Amino acid sequence: MPTGPKASRGEMKETILTAARELFSAEEYPKVTVRSIAARAGCDPGMISYYFGSKVGLFRESMSLPTDPIESILTAFGEGGPGTGERLLTVVMDVWEGVSASTNFQVLARSLLENENTLFIFRAWFDRNLFTTLANRLGGSDSKVRIQLVTGQVMGICILRFIYRFDPLATIPATQLAAYYGPLIDQQLFAPADLG
C-alpha cells in the first residue's frame, strides 16, 4: 500500500489544492487535467490519486466541499414528510456557508454558464444522481417537476445569498432562513397540485 511522499505530506496536499483552485478558476473543467494540475504543483500525477482519489475528488475538495453535496441532500430528504424543506435548506446552506465555498460557488456557476460541454456533463450527472433519485422517492406522475421546481428555488436563494450577496438574505442566519422558507418547499413537494 502506498504511503505517500515522505517529506511534507501536508504541504504537498496543500500545494496540489492551490494548483487545482488556480486552474479550475482559469479554465473550463473538462480542459483541466490531472497532469496539468500535477505539473503546476510540481508533483507526480500519482500523488493526486493518492490524496484525492480522482479529478472529481480533487475538484470537490478544492471547492471546499467537505462532503459529497448530493449524498448530503439525499440524506436530508430521507423519506420526505413535514420538515423536509427545512432540512434540505439547512444542508445546502451548510455546504456553501464558508467564505471559500461561496467564492468557489461563483467559479462553478461561471464554468457551467460559459461552457456547453461542462453544462451537458453537469446536467446529466445532476439529473441522474439528484432529480431522478429524489423523484423516485417522492413518487407521483409530477414528482420530477416538483423536485426541479424546488431545486430552482434553492439555487435562486444561493445565487442571491452567495453571489449577489443581497442583504438581509446574505447575512440572515442559515437556520432562520431554513425556518422561513422550508415550509414553502414542503408545500411545493407534498401539497396536491390544483391543475383545474
Asked whether the beta carbons of 95 and 65 are under 8 A apart, the reply is: yes
CATH superfamily entry for domain 6-63? Homeodomain-like (1.10.10.60)
Q: Would you identify the CATH topology of the domain 69-190?
A: Tetracycline Repressor; domain 2 (1.10.357)
Q: What is the DSSP letter of 4?
A: -
Cα distance between residue 120 and residue 143, in whole Å = 22
Q: Which pLDDT score is estimated for 22?
A: 84
Cα distance between residue 188 and residue 76, in whole Å = 16
Asked whether the beta carbons of 86 and 178 are under 8 A apart, the reply is: yes
Q: Which pLDDT score is estimated for 120?
A: 75
| Local mean pLDDT, 10-residue blocks, the chain (196 residues) | 55 92 78 94 95 85 70 90 95 74 62 69 82 94 95 92 90 95 96 68
Q: Which pLDDT score is estimated for 108?
A: 67
Q: Which pLDDT score is estimated for 113?
A: 67
Phi, psi of 51, rounded to the nearest 5 degrees: -85, -35
Other Cβ atoms closer than 10 A to 24: 22
Q: Which pLDDT score is estimated for 50?
A: 94
Q: What is the DSSP letter of 193?
A: P
Residue with grid cell 515522505, as numbered in its chain: 6
Q: Which pLDDT score is estimated for 153?
A: 95
Q: Please tell me the pTM assigned to this model.
A: 0.68
Q: Which pLDDT score is estimated for 196?
A: 45
The structural domains of the chain, with segments of one domain joined by +, span: 6-63, 69-190
Q: Which pLDDT score is estimated for 99?
A: 46
Cα distance between residue 44 and residue 54, in whole Å = 14
Q: Which pLDDT score is estimated for 56?
A: 79
Q: Which pLDDT score is estimated for 107?
A: 66
Cα distance between residue 135 and residue 143, in whole Å = 5
Q: Which pLDDT score is estimated for 169?
A: 95
DSSP, collapsed to helix, strand or coil, labels residue 95 as helix
